[in-house]
Homo-oligomer: A and B are copies of this chain.
Amino acid sequence: MRHTVKDIATALGLEAAGAVSFEITHAAEPVGAAADALALAMNPAYAEGLSQGAAQVAMLWEGADWQALGLKAAIFAPRPRFAMSGLTQMLDHGLDLVPGVHPTAVIDSTAQIGAHAAIGPFVVINAGVVIGENAQIASHASVGRNSTIGDNCLIHPGVRIGANVRIGDRFIAQAGGVIGADGFSFVTPEKSGVEKARESLGDQGDVANEGAGQAWIRIHSLGGVEIGDDVETGGNVTIDSGTIRATRIGRGTKLDNQVHLGHNVQVGEDCLLCGQVGIAGSTKIGNRVVMGGQCGASDNIFIGDDVVAGGASKIFTKVPAGRVILGSPAVKMETQVEINKSLRRLPRALKQLADLKTAFASLQETVSKTDENK
């Protein structure tokens, strides 16, 4: 794939200058860049690297003096990361899947495959499945009974889509994800120690006697998963089916690698859930929520629109819309920052308190004697 500087600038809606018919084959960091690379130096800090590489054209910050940098041509990116989205899309080779169904794929006769779809080797598609137009389903993926996937989806290798999963258009699933697993929902014939501990916040009653002999019995998940348009799921995610209603992920929401959503979870639109986030069953998350890596949320709580949770926050209770939170248990970010500062001073403070108590007792005695001596 070769692109001229002009074609890139046009596609990205950016200004270009110089020999814009120059062709590049790839993008590279300035240091060590090859002669056919577009060097990326959208920050003046990267400019000096240009002289340590052979790139002749670059993407630069707005207003950069490209000629002084010794370049033949340049593209100017006032919002660098946004420019990167367009550029990397242009240069991505994709999965190299060929339209049509690979001869090794096993497709149920009742499944419907959309026009121009590409189904890779060893794919298994079960009864009643509907796959949209221009779908790309890579090797070893499987799609369960009665599931539907919209147009222009991109399913990486080995993704497991279960039964009754309904997915919108332009869905991207990174490799190894499991979408539509049975929920972790069990019940004992009689009340269990856990239920009692929840009710009494800590006291299990006489669990050792009562609990004995009680086995966990599965509540099956029949509700499937509903996923809106433009959703992406990361590598090795796990998303459980709902019990009766569907587990839902709203339009535009992105899940990073190893995110886990329990059964009946509802995630709103345009959310970002970073790596290893876990959301327990039946919790509801609003729109535009961002959760840093390794965050967790308890079951059956509500997290409002526009909440931002810092990395490793553990959310045990309802969070109002717009709040920025941190910590375990998660509290307002500024509160947690104050708590963290205080914690570092705590061991010394406890020593000071003990000393003060002693000094106070001594002073109290002094005063008492002074008083008596009057």
A-side residues, CB < 8 A to B, are 26-29, 40, 79, 81-82, 84-85, 88-89, 91-93, 95-96, 102, 104, 106, 120-122, 124, 126-127, 138-140, 142, 144-145, 156-158, 160, 162-163, 172, 174-176, 178, 181-182, 184, 186-189, 193-194, 197, 201-204, 207-208, 211-212, 214-222, 230, 232, 234-236, 238, 240, 243-245, 252, 254, 256-258, 260, 262, 270, 272, 274-276, 278, 280, 288, 290, 292-294, 296, 298, 305-306, 308, 311-312, 314, 316, 321-322, 324, 327-329, 331-335, 337-347, 349-350, 352-353, 356-357, 359-360, 363-364, 366-367, 370-371, 373-374
Could you tell me if A124 and B121 are in contact, using CB atoms closer than 8 angstroms? yes
Contacts of A144 in B (CB 8 A): 95
Instruction: Contacts A306-B208, A311-B298, A337-B201 given; indicate if A220 touches B91 (C-beta within 8 A).
Output: yes
Could you tell me if A329 and B340 are in contact, using CB atoms closer than 8 angstroms? yes
Q: How many copies does the complex hold?
A: 3
Could you tell me if A208 and B322 are in contact, using CB atoms closer than 8 angstroms? yes
Instruction: Contacts A160-B157, A359-B360 given; indicate if A186 touches B272 (C-beta within 8 A).
Output: yes
Instruction: Contacts A157-B142, A312-B328, A344-B335 given; indicate if A257 touches B238 (C-beta within 8 A).
Output: yes
From residue A359, how far is it (CB to closest CB) to chain B in Å?
7
